[in-house]
């Protein structure tokens, strides 16, 4: 049986002494001093007991008083060495003022295989911790310990265990249980250390990287400064630029969000370049810049008249736009809808009539900026709406680029060749144009690249097209058509004199005094050397004459070079276009029709002939289904009225010359009928008569389109009489007075009237 010891109690409130530990104890409290004084009577032994929260532990450590003296600071202290655990019993009396108790020494339990394994694992953990701290001498001491209990008690030196943990170890008398507790606490400490070290390493590396990048940027800036390659002032301070710019609230919010991303990303991040490009694009758009529209309608009309001859209906429509716009501005947008005028005018007409140049004149008259957007051949929807920013080389669409180029939010934007926009696997650009041109939607137009709303309601959009037939229906529905049908000969002469000739004189390097053109010469170029709705070929003719005049002047001819009707043959050769209606219609079976092509109005001859052979009908000249039906209807009508003669028993051939050109449309019915009636009766068609209109089986004449263009073509071809459907009579109001005065227009409702007007009188000898 273990002998009970009678020992003085040395209480410690700030430390726990385990067996094997040598600890200095300050003698700063009466009970500690009393225990040290009493130890001399019991072989210098004391019972060191933890006193935590004012309570004594049930197990203490039997310790030997090694030395009593003073610390370097001068305080009195004693050194004690723990030897073994002891269970505290009842209090007893003893000498001095110390507290005496009975203490029963406690021996460690037997060492089992599990105890040995736990000790080995714990020793490995402890050595690992000590090696990290560089305590190599302590590592050697720990490695020499073989007793599991002694190894466990070395935990009294562990800085990562608090007083409660050490007191719990002191109270635990079973070695195995003591090692299990130590393993649990030590593993938790190791895991915590690993996390702390990882965080510390990451923070250290991040700080080092930031400091390194800052240093390198400073060095790079210094190098650029020395080389004179510094960045433009303020180019990097995007936040200041965004805050200083006059941006709408939603745009400013989106821009600042991108600035935040830019500031968080490094220069090596490719997204930084994309963000800079996007911010530059946004800052380049004139969000708050607008030009003032002119309020002087008389001056605006004067500008349009000075820039273009004719086109009165177009000019009237533009002046109406100005008047409405001015009134809206005076009333205030908030009272009239607040979404701009919403006018989307589309100028439709043949090439060369001045559609594109008219857009510049409109901008000039309004006092606005002018931008031209060429849409011919565009097949990618992204060209209109922009690319997504995730694509390499992404750009905003042409509309945004036009606004940026104009430098104001209310320019005149000319959408050129809107009828030649294509579509393929990349999307349909015309569908993207719907939002641009819809007045109810374009105040919140969203470009895929910008991804912010852009107000296009103040933009005046003008479209140009050669033919409205090829413009998609939904797009056509959002536009107001203004047709430019072409110029009369007098208008062409005025345009040549006032606009084309001065421009070509300058291009040829001549002075206005070097060449003199007579009005007769200009009229001949327009009438006999060109035959077009516009003036493009006329301008080329003038350029050719001026080039030859420049050669003459350089060869010694005295200025000015006089260009009159006789001189034109030497400059341009013989006339290319002469009236041919009389020659073509001198034979029965040929009628003169009128048609509309992509190049404007034109004269169309229809020829019919009959021959011996099996009865039948042959059609040539690349006729479409509608014109083929017109031939059949015309023949059926004549047979039903008894006007076909012997055509039903003969082989018929109907031909429309210029066979390489496809022809189709519902306006050649009465011309087909007249040609067949002329063939059947042997009466030629009057050479001065041109006609247009569709026919029914009952002989009614149906209305057609393009009357103005067709009548202008008839006038250019030298015709004096034109037959049109009765229901097209209101279209004559659009015809210029000069042309209306030189043409006799005959509105008809029945084919019988057409034949009476068109056919020559029957020969006297016809009865024979």
CATH number at residue 609: 3.30.230.10
DSSP 293: P
Q: Do 537 and 592 lie in a common domain?
A: no
- Distance between CA atoms of 448 and 454, rounded to whole angstroms? 11
SS (H, E, C) 345-368: EEEECCCCCCHHHHHHHHHHHHCC
Tell whether 475 and 512 lie within a shared domain. no
Q: Which of 250, 284, 318 is the last residue of a domain?
A: 284
**Looking at the structure, do residues 351 and 494 belong to the same domain, yes or no?**
no
Distance, CA of 727 to CA of 658 (rounded, Å): 30
Q: 598 and 467 in one domain?
A: no
- Of the candidates 458, 454, 446, the residue with the CA atom closest to the CA atom of residue 291: 458
CATH of the domain at 407: 3.40.50.300
341 in a domain, yes or no?
Answer: yes
User: Mean pLDDT per 10-residue run, the chain (768 residues)?
Assistant: 79 87 87 85 86 85 88 86 87 78 83 83 81 75 80 81 85 85 86 86 83 79 68 59 84 85 70 82 85 80 79 79 74 49 74 82 84 82 78 81 87 85 72 78 80 83 82 80 78 84 87 85 82 82 88 83 83 76 78 80 86 85 84 88 82 79 77 89 89 90 86 85 91 82 90 89 56
Query: In sequence order, what DSSP letters do the residues of 193-227 get, joined into one string?
Result: HHHHHHHHHHHHHHHHHHHHHHHHHHHHHHHHHHH
Q: Is there a single domain that holds both residue 682 and residue 700? A: yes
Q: Based on the domain organization, do 753 and 645 belong to the same domain?
A: yes
> For position 601, what pLDDT does the model report?
76
Residue 137 belongs to some domain of the structure: no
Strand partners, 483: 348
Q: Of residues 346, 457, 667, 687, which has the active-site annotation?
A: 667
Domain co-membership, 53 together with 78: yes
Active site residue 710: yes
Q: Where are the alpha helices (DSSP H) in 308-445?
A: 312-331, 355-366, 382-385, 398-406, 429-437
Give the CA count within 13 Å in the CB-facing half-sphere of 221. Answer: 10
Residue entry with tokens 């430390």: 15
pLDDT value, residue 427: 67
Residue 146 counted as domain residue: no
pLDDT at position 235: 44
pLDDT at 337: 41
- Cα 477 to Cα 344, 346, 440, distances in angstroms: 10, 11, 13
Task: Look at residue 218 and tell me if it is in a domain.
Answer: no
Contact 648, 616 (CB under 8 A): no
* pLDDT value at residue 748: 92
**What pLDDT was estimated at residue 764?**
53
Q: Is 377 found in the same domain as 402?
A: yes
Among residues 107, 134, 157, the one where a domain terminates is 107
pLDDT at residue 487 in the model:
77
- Examine the domain organization and report whether 645 and 562 are in the same domain: no
The domain boundary, picked from 426, 455, 483, lies at 483
Q: Annotated catalytic, 90? A: no
d(CA 269, CA 22) in angstroms, rounded, equals 60
Is residue 205 included in any domain, yes or no?
no
Please give the residue range of the domain that contains residue 244: 238-284
The one-character DSSP state at 84 is E
Largest Cα span, the chain: 177
Separation CA 258–CA 450 (nearest Å): 12
Q: Would you say 633 and 586 are in contact if contact means Cβ atoms under 8 Å apart?
A: no
pLDDT for residue 727: 92
Q: What is the pLDDT of residue 232?
A: 42
Instruction: Judge whether 474 lies within some domain.
Output: yes
Q: Number of folded domains in the chain?
A: 5
| Spatial separation of the C-alpha atoms in residues 504 and 545, rounded to whole Å | 10
Q: Domain holding 534: CATH number?
A: 1.10.8.60
Same-domain check for residues 662 and 756: yes
Residue 390 lies in a domain: yes
Domain co-membership, 338 together with 398? yes
Cα–chain-centroid distance for residue 645? 68
- End-to-end CA distance of the chain, in Å? 169
Same domain, 551 and 680: no
Please tell me whether residue 183 adopts helix, strand or coil conformation. helix
């260009």: which residue's tokens? 563
Query: Within 10 Å of residue 364's Cβ, how many Cβ atoms?
Result: 17
Q: Give the C-alpha separation, 239 to 247, whole Å.
A: 13
Place of tokens 């249980």: 177
H or E element that contains 410:
none
Predicted confidence at residue 750, as pLDDT, reads: 92
Backbone angles phi, psi at 273, to 5 degrees: -65, -40
The residue annotated as part of the active site, out of 315, 663, 708, 710, is: 710
Residue 512 lies in a domain: yes
- Asked whether the beta carbons of 60 and 9 are under 8 A apart, the reply is yes
What CATH number did the domain enclosing 98 receive? Answer: 2.30.130.40
């Amino acid at each position: 049986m273990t002998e009970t010891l009678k020992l003085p109690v040395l209480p410690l409130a700030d430390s726990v002494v385990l067996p094997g530990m040598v600890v200095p104890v300050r003698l700063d409290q009466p009970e500690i001093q009393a225990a040290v004084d009493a130890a001399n009577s019991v072989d210098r032994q004391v019972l060191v007991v933890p006193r935590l929260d004012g309570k004594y532990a049930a197990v203490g450590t039997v310790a030997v008083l090694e030395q009593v003296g003073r610390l370097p600071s001068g305080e009195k202290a004693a050194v004690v060495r723990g030897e073994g655990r002891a269970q505290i019993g009842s209090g007893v009396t003893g000498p001095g003022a110390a507290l005496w108790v009975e203490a029963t020494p406690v021996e460690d339990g037997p060492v089992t295989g599990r105890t040995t394994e736990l000790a080995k694992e714990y020793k490995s953990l402890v050595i690992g911790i000590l090696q990290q701290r560089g305590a190599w001498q302590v590592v050697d001491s720990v490695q020499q310990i073989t007793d599991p209990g002694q190894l466990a008690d070395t935990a009294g030196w562990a800085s990562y265990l608090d007083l409660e943990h050490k007191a719990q170890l002191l109270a635990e008398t079973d070695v195995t249980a003591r090692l299990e507790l130590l393993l649990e606490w030590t593993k938790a400490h190791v895991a915590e250390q690993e996390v702390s070290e990882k965080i510390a390493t990451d923070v250290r590396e991040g700080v080092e990287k930031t400091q390194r990048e800052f240093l390198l940027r400073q060095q790079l800036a210094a190098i650029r400064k020395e080389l004179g390659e510094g960045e433009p002032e303020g180019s990097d301070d995007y936040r200041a630029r965004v805050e200083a710019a006059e941006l709408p609230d939603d745009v400013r919010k989106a821009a600042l969000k991108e600035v935040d991303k830019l500031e968080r990303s490094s220069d090596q991040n490719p997204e930084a370049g994309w963000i800079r490009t996007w911010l530059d694009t946004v800052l380049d758009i004139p969000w708050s810049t607008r030009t003032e529209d002119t309020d002087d309608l008389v001056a605006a009309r004067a500008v349009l008249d000075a820039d273009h001859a004719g086109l009165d209906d177009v000019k009237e429509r533009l002046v109406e736009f100005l008047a409405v716009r001015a009134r809206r501005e005076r009333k205030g947008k908030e009272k009239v809808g607040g979404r701009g005028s919403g006018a989307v005018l589309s100028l439709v007409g043949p090439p060369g009539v001045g559609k594109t140049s008219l857009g510049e004149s409109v901008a000039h008259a309004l006092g606005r900026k002018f931008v031209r957007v060429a849409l011919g051949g565009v097949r990618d929807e992204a060209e209109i709406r922009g690319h997504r920013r995730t694509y390499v080389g992404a750009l905003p669409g042409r509309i945004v680029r036009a606004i940026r180029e104009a430098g104001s939010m209310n320019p005149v934007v000319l959408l050129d060749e809107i009828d030649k926009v294509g579509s393929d696997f990349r999307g349909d650009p015309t569908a993207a144009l719907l939002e641009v041109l819809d007045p109810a939607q374009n105040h919140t137009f969203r470009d895929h690249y910008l991804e912010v709303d852009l107000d296009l309601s103040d933009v005046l959009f003008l479209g140009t097209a050669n033919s409205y037939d090829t413009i998609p229906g939904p797009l056509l529905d959002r536009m107001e058509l203004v047709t430019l049908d072409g110029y009369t000969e007098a208008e062409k002469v005025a345009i040549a004199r006032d606009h084309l000739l001065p421009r070509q004189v300058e291009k040829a390097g001549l002075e206005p005094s070097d060449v003199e053109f007579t009005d007769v010469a200009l009229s001949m170029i327009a009438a006999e050397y060109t035959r077009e709705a516009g003036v493009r070929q006329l301008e080329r003719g003038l350029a050719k004459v001026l080039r030859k005049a420049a050669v003459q002047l350089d060869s010694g001819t005295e200025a000015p070079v006089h260009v009159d009707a006789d001189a034109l043959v030497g400059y341009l050769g013989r006339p290319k276009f002469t009236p041919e209606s009389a020659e073509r219609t001198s034979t029965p079976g040929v009628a003169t029709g009128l048609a509309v092509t992509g190049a404007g109005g034109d004269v169309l001859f229809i020829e019919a002939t009959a021959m011996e052979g099996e009865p039948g009908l042959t059609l040539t000249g690349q006729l479409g289904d509608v014109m083929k039906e017109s031939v059949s209807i015309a023949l059926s009508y004549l047979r039903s009225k008894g006007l076909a003669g012997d055509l039903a028993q003969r082989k018929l051939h109907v031909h429309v010359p210029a066979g390489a050109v496809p022809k189709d449309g519902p306006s050649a019915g009465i011309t087909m009928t007249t040609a067949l009636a002329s063939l059947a009766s042997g009466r030629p068609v009057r050479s001065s008569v041109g006609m247009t209109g569709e026919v029914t089986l009952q002989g009614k004449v149906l209305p057609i389109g393009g009357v103005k263009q067709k009548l202008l073509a008839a006038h250019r071809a030298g015709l004096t009489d034109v037959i049109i459907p009765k229901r097209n009579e209101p279209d004559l109001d659009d015809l210029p007075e000069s042309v209306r005065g030189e043409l006799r227009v005959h509105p008809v409702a029945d084919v019988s009237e057409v034949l009476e007007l068109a056919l020559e009188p029957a020969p006297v000898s016809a009865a024979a």
